[in-house]
Chains A and B, each alone.
Chain A
């Protein structure tokens, strides 16, 4: 900030700050959210294909195949649960 900045200018530049800071912070947050997003886009499709394969052998409904992705430290764990009818 300039030393000779007048009172009004000081006032104004302070104000300019708050929305600009918000924007910068949001750029980081949103970029982060989006980078982790696309990575597992295949999961629904995987679930559908698994269903198709399993249905060749046993009749099960959509909710009997359950896929879940968990994080274990640095590791990502894909948990697959298939409930077979008795």
Chain B
């Protein structure tokens, strides 16, 4: 059976693509046949984060329009077996995706035996983002501990609950997971950043994980490597926990408190 999972947020730049790449890679590392789809038409980026940009020949829009078949379009990951990337088109025509076409591709992927179909949503709450979430069974709502990100996440929750296929057809609702990224325990402790508890209380969505702010994320994106492959990096480790938790393992949340005390704290704290 296949599960379609959208990585969404409303607000831009909060870490959707970073998350989609890490999450899909993690699922495949657990042996699940997984594809990650870039829905950001016109602003293809997932290929760079996955490090496969030079092997992109056809894209999502080509596939929908029948210019290429699925085998020609899917890019197979070189590192992880069972991991595939479906790149976005670089066309500037935002209307290039349509629900009928996206639905047909989803069905074909299911027939091909993909267990997980991860949809990397573009920013915003308009057609692109709605296209990415429409067929979803589950949603990773990516949120930064910051006012505008939280408000937008809440708006996206409203859209998941009213505009998705499941809502329209009266099916069970999309299963929502909260993923807090770019968390900085030090700033939470000084009272400048909303805490995990605050965010859960505000959004009331079950917490899947907390990914700390980490330098490794930039280094990995520079190298074209999903951060989950960097076992030394805290963000990478947090994503590994997220995937294990998603698959039903019990894992305590890590990186919620400051590790080393800063100079000021040691003197006065």
Mark A residues whose CB is within 8 Å of B: 8, 12, 15-20, 22-23, 25-27, 29-30, 33-34, 37, 40-41, 43-45, 48
Contact = CB atoms under 8 A, between A and B. Distances in A.
Contacts of A18: 191-192
B67 interface: no
A19 B11 CA distance: 19
B202 A26 contact: yes
Given A8-B268, A19-B188, A37 B162 contact: yes
Contact of A20 (B155, B161, B169, B191): B191
A33 B151 contact: yes
Q: Most B CB atoms within 10 A — which of A26, A27, A37?
A: A26
Q: How would you classify the secondary structure of chain B's contact residues: helix, strand, loop or mixed? A: helix
B168 interface: yes
Contacts, number: 59
Interface string B165-200: 001111000000000000000001011111100100
B158 interface: yes
* Contact size range, B: 20 to 34
Interface of B: 146-147, 150-151, 154-155, 158, 161-163, 167-170, 188, 190-195, 198, 202-203, 268
B192 A19 contact: yes
Nearest to A18: B192
A54 B192 CA distance: 56
A30 B191 contact: no
A18 B188 CA distance: 10
B192 A30 contact: no
Contact of A30 (B190, B195, B203): B203
Contacts of B151: 26, 29-30, 33
Nearest to B154: A30
B162 A22 contact: no
B202 A48 contact: no
Nearest to B170: A45
A12 B189 CA distance: 10
A43 B168 CA distance: 9
Contact of A34 (B147, B150, B154, B163): B154
16 contacts: A15-B191, A16-B191, A19-B191, A19-B193, A19-B195, A26-B147, A26-B151, A30-B150, A30-B151, A33-B154, A37-B158, A40-B162, A43-B162, A44-B167, A48-B168, A48-B169
